Amino acid sequence: MALSADTTRLRFVQIGIDAVDVPAVRDFWRALLGYEYDPRPGVTDIYDPRRLNMPIFFQQMPASEEARRNQRNRIHVDVFVPDDQARGRIDAALAAGGQLVNDDGAPEGWTLADPEGNEVDIAVLVGREEARLASQTEPG
């Protein structure tokens, strides 16, 4: 039986984040995700050490592009973690230069931002469905 390539499938998917201070932004995302630094010289990638999730690369952005930098991204990343690991991920991200943007959804979710304002939600599944159902039955 002969093998043939399926050229209709994606070859590779990764997320790119533009940053003025690539090392600071890269440190935040590495700490938050538990990723590793790519050891190749000149490469800004971080990767899942289990190789299950997509890599992230960081692209140098000129500091002079203030209008573009001030524009809030229309996308953000959701990271679901076991409920007993959420606090550790949040603490690691804050220690790596992140900031807590919103914790109104805690303990089911928190929004953090990297040093340049890119947002990420840390979320857990425990309690999430119960909170959703309770909000639907409240008078409003």
**pTM for this one?**
0.75
Long-range (24+ apart) CB contacts under 8 A made by 58-63 are 58/16, 58/17, 58/18, 58/19, 58/22, 58/25, 58/26, 58/29, 59/16, 59/17, 59/18, 59/19, 59/22, 60/18, 60/19, 60/20, 60/22, 61/18, 61/19, 61/20, 62/20, 63/20
Q: Where are the domains of the chain?
A: 15-63+76-137
Q: In this predicted structure, what is the pLDDT of residue 128?
A: 63
pLDDT in tens, 92-104: 999 999 999 999 9
Q: How far apart are CA 36 and CA 50, in angstroms?
A: 10
**Res 140 pLDDT > 60:** no
Distance from the first to the final alpha carbon of the chain = 64
Banded model confidence at residue 57, pLDDT cuts 50, 70, 90: very high
On the question of a cis peptide bond just before residue 107, with omega within 30 degrees of 0, the verdict is yes
Share of the chain above pLDDT 90, in %: 49
CATH 3.10.180.10 fits 15-63+76-137, yes or no: yes
Mean pLDDT of 78-97: 93
Mean pLDDT of 5-9: 76
